Amino acid sequence: MAAIWVDADACPQVVKDILLRAAERTGVAITFVANQPVRLPAGLPVKAVQVPPGFDVADNYIVQHSAPDDLVVTQDIPLAAELVKAGVAAVTPRGQRHTKESIGQRLAIRDLMSDLRDAGMVRGGPPPLSLADRQNFANQLDKWLSARPKG
């Protein structure tokens, strides 16, 4: 049965809340993967997996356990690229759906921004999640929930 995986270390709380409401409403199984404890309410089809600290440990866990009918919520572009290549749906907390057509450009932009930050030409990170970002995420989630194979 299709499930949702969350790269939870950098997932905004508001997105976690949207996901928890979806689990309550639809019964979809959601796994939050992080290298720190994730507090979740009881009585929902959600669980937390705490992986050991280390570079890409949570990412590797998600890649090894997700399946093509699943959805992964992640801000990590290289992780999204690996998932898309494996046929797994990937979406950012801002509601941007990664596709085979878009992922190459997103990797290139990520690399460019990293180079610009390293050169001191760009500072800071992305802006806070806006109401439009939250709505985009909720819309992408609803779209996936409607299209998922039911077990």
Q: Model's pTM, two decimal places?
A: 0.86
The SS3 call for residue 140 is: helix
Q: What angle do CA 124, 15, 69 make, to 5 degrees?
A: 115
What pLDDT is attached to residue 148?
85
How would DSSP label each residue in 107-139?
A: HHHHHHHHHHHHTTS--S-PPPPPHHHHHHHHH
Instruction: Look up residue 114 and give its amino acid.
Output: S
Q: Where are the domains of the chain?
A: 4-147
Which of 37-41, 125-129, 132-136, 147-151 has the least mean pLDDT?
Answer: 147-151
CB 60 within 8 A of CB 78: no
Residue 107 reports pLDDT greater than 90: no
CB 30 within 8 A of CB 45: yes
**Digit-coded pLDDT (tens) for 22-58:** 999 999 999 999 999 999 999 999 999 999 999 899 9
CATH match of 4-147 with 3.40.50? yes
Q: What is the mean pLDDT of the chain?
A: 90
Structure tokens at 12: 């905004």
Integer Cα distance of 87 and 99 in angstroms: 9
What pLDDT is attached to residue 138?
98
